[in-house]
Amino acid sequence: MIGLLGINHKTCSLEIREKYSFTNQEIIEFSELLYQETNISDIVILSTCNRTEIYFSQDLYDRQMAFEQVYNTLNLFKSILEHHWHAFYHKSNVEAVTHLFEVASGLDSMILGEDQIIGQIKEAYLFCTKAALTDDILMRLFQKSFEAGKRVRSETGIKLGNTSISSAAVELCNKYMGGLAQKSLLIVGAGDTSTLALQNFKNKAVKNITITNRTLSNAQTLANNYKAKVLEFDNFQSQLHLFDIVCVATHSKDYLIKAEDVTKSAQHSANKQQIFIDLSVPRNIDESISQFENIQLICVDDLEAVVQITAEKRQECIEQATVIIQKVQTEFSEWLASRSLRPAIKTITSVLQSVHNKELKLNKKYDSIETQNAVEEYAEHLTQRYTGLLIKNLKELTNNGKDIDSLKIVDNLFKLD
């Protein structure tokens, strides 16, 4: 069974999503606890600002029990006592496969067709694979998801308009300020989301850019690429008043900018209008700063208006994308079904070969070497011929492995002593 337990921006608020976000280190720790509690060992966890999704492969439990086991272990790991079962979606097999392909293609994103998600899926898959957390089913599944995502983006017009949360945030910021060319910008963080935001600000002709990051060398590398300045991370909060726009995108679990930081900064800014953009989950900016005069706070859940405009432009591409996804999903399902035939094919081959060897051994007692060789050659021919015929009939009878009940009958039929 392929299973998916997840939450996203459609099913719950940012307040709940941030409780279930994962760092890479937490993925390793959770996988160890999950195996300890359930014996489920094959997982990929996708954790972004808009979703946390746990994909798993298992044959130990029925569908409902599997989801309950993963959900209970998740709450145990996160030390969450509240009941959020209603916020999670639970998908298995074809539904889970289709959902992943839709996510990879940008159909399930806050911004229809967003580009950033495909890179995030690849990072999640590669991390879990390198950590030996994926079996061959999950490996094949995610590789096909990359194919689906690539084809949808190249064969449809789904990339028109804003294609990431970062670009939508910059677009909204531009609207609030009536142009960004003369504005000063502070980027806090040097990861993929920060880089995308920086690229979008550059596209709006922003030139006065400063970058700060906990690891100074990463900030310096990013700054060199975009001709930006670098600010020491320690106590960067004391410099907030120098910037018109502050954009934060890190993996910190705590507020990096608190209400008192903004209050102190305001004492130096003389009624200066500022925009704070928080692209982090969990949030890195205290949401209470939105109550301050001359302060505008933009979080990931505030981008719905920009999203709606983009979605309207791309709706006509959904039907084309769905056709592509169905084709790739069918290819994966065929592979998965044929994979289930392998034990039966191995059993048929083994049983016929065993009968072949046993009968030849009995024949050797009575015939000459020449006769034995002739009989052996003919018996080998018959064995191969009937093996091929039975395997062909097996595929037809079980619809290439999809008919599980027929497959079980064949398995029982060839369990000969």
User: Using omega within 30 degrees of 0 as the cis cutoff, is the peptide bond preceding 282 cis?
Assistant: yes
Write down the residue that tokens 């970062």 correspond to: 166
Report the catalytic residues: 49
Kindly list the distances between the CA atom of residue 212 and the CA atoms of 216, 219, 221, 247, in Å, as whole numbers in the listed order.
7, 6, 11, 10
Q: How many CB atoms lie within 10 A of CB 382?
A: 11
Estimate the crossing angle of helix 94-105 against helix 116-130, to 10 degrees.
Answer: 130
Query: Tokens at residue 393, please?
Result: 């009939």
AA identity, residue 360:
L
Query: Tokens at residue 142, please?
Result: 């995610």
